[in-house]
Amino acid sequence: MRERTTTFIHSLLSIVILSIVVYGCSPSTGTDIPGTQTIAPLSTSIETSIPTATPMAEDDPFVEARQRLVEEGIIGMGISDPLVIEAMGRTPRHLFVPEDYVNMAYVNHPLPIGYGQTISQPYIVALMTQELGVHEGDRVLEIGTGSGYQAAVLAELGVEVFTIEIIGALAEAAAERLSNLGYDKVQVRHADGYFGWEEEAPFDAIIVTAAPDHVPEPLLEQLTIGGVMVIPVGPVGWFQELWRIRRIDGANFRSESLGGVTFVPFTREVRDE
């Protein structure tokens, strides 16, 4: 793979250019391939910091807050894809955050979701979604399910989502939440996202919501020709760079920097808690 190398100075300039620093998404990888499992909608709930969701009522009290977020924090910050804007306006973020943070659900900021993880800032969710350039019917792999918010936004675009999470409790809770909300085109797996989802490959797009120190080779191999990956890459505990990588042919890729960001690290330890 041909990746552009960036100097330390370039990384700092990228960070300045991107005025909003992202404080991360849920790291979503696991360890051993034999330990992977696809999570079907659950018949019983699990203990988690976020209640399982039920379909939104017509009198959703957060309509105005969500619209204000879209206008000020999505459109106002440069997101221009009308389909992504509409998806952000439809996705009920308040159903993907813990009860203690519901009143902050439409603040343009990451929030904790338990297990030391976070739900991403809405702007960065919209940005990464826009940069994927997906179309209805596409197949998208997400590495980092978290509470399921990014997967829901993707599903609102009419794509089929395959999402992997390292923490078992988060994977199970997200599967149940997404099912209860009617996102039936989302499949959740508790596994090591580094290896992707080989039996469902290839994918038209791959989105990674935690930062490895290098681009995982198995994920590159699971992109279709012409497919796009959006991924933050960089050292743990420091700023990373957000990359859009397009597969040109079987052996060649074109990489473009989208600026400096800060994500939680891409972990490789399966957790069943």
Q: What is the pLDDT of residue 117?
A: 87
Q: What is the pLDDT of residue 56?
A: 52
Domain contains 266: no
Q: Report d(CA 209, CA 169) in Å as an integer.
A: 18
Calculate the alpha carbon distances from 78 to 116, 130, 265 in Å: 30, 11, 27
List the one residue out of 191, 127, 181 whose CA is nearest residue 152.
Answer: 181
Question: Which of 26, 28, 120, 255 is flagged as catalytic?
Answer: 120
Domain contains 206: yes
Q: What is the pLDDT of residue 58?
A: 57
Q: What is the pLDDT of residue 185?
A: 96
Q: What is the pLDDT of residue 232?
A: 96
Q: Report d(CA 120, CA 242) in Å as an integer.
A: 14
Domain contains 253: yes
Domain contains 74: no
Domain contains 102: no
pLDDT digits (tens, 9 = 90+) for 97-111: 999 999 999 999 999
Domain contains 73: no
**Continuous H helices in the chain:** 8-17, 63-69, 82-90, 122-132, 149-156, 168-180, 217-221
Evaluate whether 211 touches 233 at the Cβ level (below 8 Å).
yes
pLDDT digits (tens, 9 = 90+) for 6-48: 333 334 333 333 333 333 333 333 222 333 444 444 322 333 4
Domain count, the chain: 1
Domain contains 175: yes
Domain contains 95: no
Q: Report d(CA 218, CA 197) in Å as an integer.
A: 9
Residue-wise pLDDT tens for the chain (273 aa)?
Answer: 433 433 333 343 333 333 333 333 333 332 223 334 444 443 223 334 464 554 555 578 999 999 999 999 999 999 999 999 999 999 999 999 999 999 999 999 999 998 888 999 999 999 999 999 999 999 999 999 999 999 999 999 999 999 999 999 999 999 999 999 999 999 999 999 999 999 999 999 999 999 999 999 999 999 999 999 999 999 877 789 999 999 999 999 999 999 998 888 888 877 776
The percentage of the chain sitting over the pLDDT mark of 70, rounded to a whole number, equals 78
Q: Residue 16's domain is classified under what CATH number?
A: 3.40.50.150
Q: What is the pLDDT of residue 145?
A: 97
Q: What is the mean pLDDT of the chain?
A: 83
Whole domain around residue 185: which residue ranges? Answer: 8-51+133-261
- Give 57's contacts (C-beta < 8 A, 6+ positions apart): none
Q: Is 120 a catalytic residue?
A: yes
Q: Report d(CA 207, CA 187) in Å as an integer.
A: 15
